[in-house]
Amino acid sequence: MAAALTLTGAGVAATALIKSPAQAAAETAPPPPDVLTAPVEKRVLTSSVILRGTVVAAQAVEVTPSGGGEGSGPVVTKLPVKSGSSVRAGALLAEVSGRPVILLHGSLPVYRDLKPGSEGDDVAQLQKALTELGHPTAPDGTGRFGTGTKKAVNALYAALGYDPLPAVDDDGAGVESAQDQVTTLRRALEDAQRTLARAGADTDSAKREDLQSQVDRTREDLEKATAELAEAQAAEGPLLPASEVVFASTFPARVDSVAVALGTKVSGPVMKLSAGPLVVQGRLQADQKALVRAGQKVRILSEITGQQAAAKVATVAEEMATDQPGSGDQSGDGQGAPKQAGGAGSGYLLVVEPLKGLPRDLIGQDVRLTVEAAATKDEVLVVPVTAVSTASDGRTVVTVVAKSGTHRRIEVRTGATGDGYVEVVPVGDRTLSAGDDVLTGIRQAKPVAGSGE
pLDDT value at residue 60? 86
258 within a domain of the structure (yes/no): no
Query: How much is the pLDDT for 335?
Result: 53
Distance, in Å, from the CA atom of 246 to the CA atom of 63, rounded to the nearest integer, reads 7
Note the pLDDT tens digit of each residue in 22-34.
555 555 555 555 7
**Mean pLDDT over residues 232-238, rounded?**
89
One domain, residues 317 and 346: yes
* Residue-level pLDDT at 6: 40
365, 304 in Cβ contact below 8 A? yes
Does 312 share its domain with 345?
Answer: yes
Q: Please say which residue of 235, 267, 286 terminates a domain.
A: 235
pLDDT of residue 377: 84
207 or 12, which is more confident: 207
Average pLDDT of the segment spanning 4-16? 40
Rg for the chain, CA atoms, rounded: 43
Q: Which range of residues forms the domain containing residue 338?
A: 49-55+276-375
Measured CA to CA, the distance from residue 354 to residue 314 in angstroms comes to 9
3-state secondary structure labels for all residues of 27-78? HHCCCCCEEEEEECEEECCEEEEEEEEEEEEEEEEEECCCCCCCCCCCEEEE
Q: Are 368 and 343 in contact (CB under 8 A)?
A: no
Mean pLDDT of 304-309: 93
Residue 71 domain flag:
no
Residue 360 and residue 391 in one domain: no
Distance CA 220, CA 232 (A): 19
* DSSP letter, residue 361: G
Residue 140 lies in a domain: no
From residue 154, give the alpha-carbon distance in Å to each of 61, 110, 161: 25, 19, 11
Q: Is residue 15 part of a domain?
A: no
Q: Are residues 315 and 405 in the same domain?
A: no
Same-domain status, 283 and 353: yes
Residue 13, pLDDT score: 40
Q: For residue 313, is pLDDT > 90?
A: yes
Task: Give yes or no: residues 391 and 350 share one domain.
Answer: no
How many domains, the chain? Answer: 3
Selection from 348, 267, 349, 347 nearest residue 339 by Cα: 349
Angle at alpha carbon of residue 84, lines to 78 and 90, rounded to 5°: 55
CA separation for the pair 113, 242 (Å, rounded)? 5
Tens digit of each residue's pLDDT (9 = 90 or more) over 123-136: 999 999 999 999 99
Neighbours of 147 (CB within 10 A): 15
Report yes or no: 113 and 125 within 8 Å, Cβ to Cβ. no
Q: Does 215 have pLDDT greater than 50?
A: yes
Question: Are residues 347 and 402 located together in one domain of the fold?
Answer: no
Q: Is 4 exposed, middle or buried (0-12, 13-18, 19+ CB in 10 A)?
A: exposed
More confident residue, 310 or 21: 310
Residue ending a domain, among 339, 360, 375, is 375
- For residue 286, what is the domain's CATH number? 2.40.30.170
Judge if 343 and 311 occupy the same domain. Answer: yes
Q: How confident is the model at residue 68 (pLDDT cuts 50, 70, 90)?
A: low
Would the pTM of this model clear 0.85, i.e. be above it?
Answer: no
Q: Is 9 part of any domain?
A: no
Please write the tens of the pLDDT for every residue from 405-436: 899 999 999 988 888 999 999 998 889 999 99
| Residue 7: predicted pLDDT | 37
Average pLDDT over residues 366-370: 95
Dihedrals φ, ψ of 270, to 5°? -95, -25
Across the chain, mean pLDDT equals: 85
Beta-strand ranges (E) seen in 286-386 are 297-301, 308-316, 348-354, 366-375, 380-384
366 and 383 assigned to the same domain? no
- Both 384 and 368 in one domain: the answer is no
**40 belongs to a structural domain:** yes
Pairing of strands 437-443, 34-39: antiparallel
Where residue 403 sits, what CATH number does that domain have? 2.40.420.20
What element of type H or E holds 359?
A: none
Q: What share of the chain is helix, strand, coil (3-state, %, to 5)?
A: 25, 35, 40
What is the band of 452 on the pLDDT scale with cuts at 50, 70, 90?
Answer: very low
Domain boundary among 375, 396, 430: 375
Mean pLDDT for 112-124 is 96
Q: How far apart are CA 232 and CA 228, in angstroms?
A: 6
Co-location of 351 and 362 in the same domain: yes
Asked if residue 14 belongs to a domain, the reply is no
- Verify that 397 and 346 share a domain, yes or no: no
Q: How far is CA 281 from CA 249, 337, 340, 350, 368, in A?
A: 19, 16, 8, 6, 11
The CATH number given to whatever domain includes residue 194 is 1.10.287
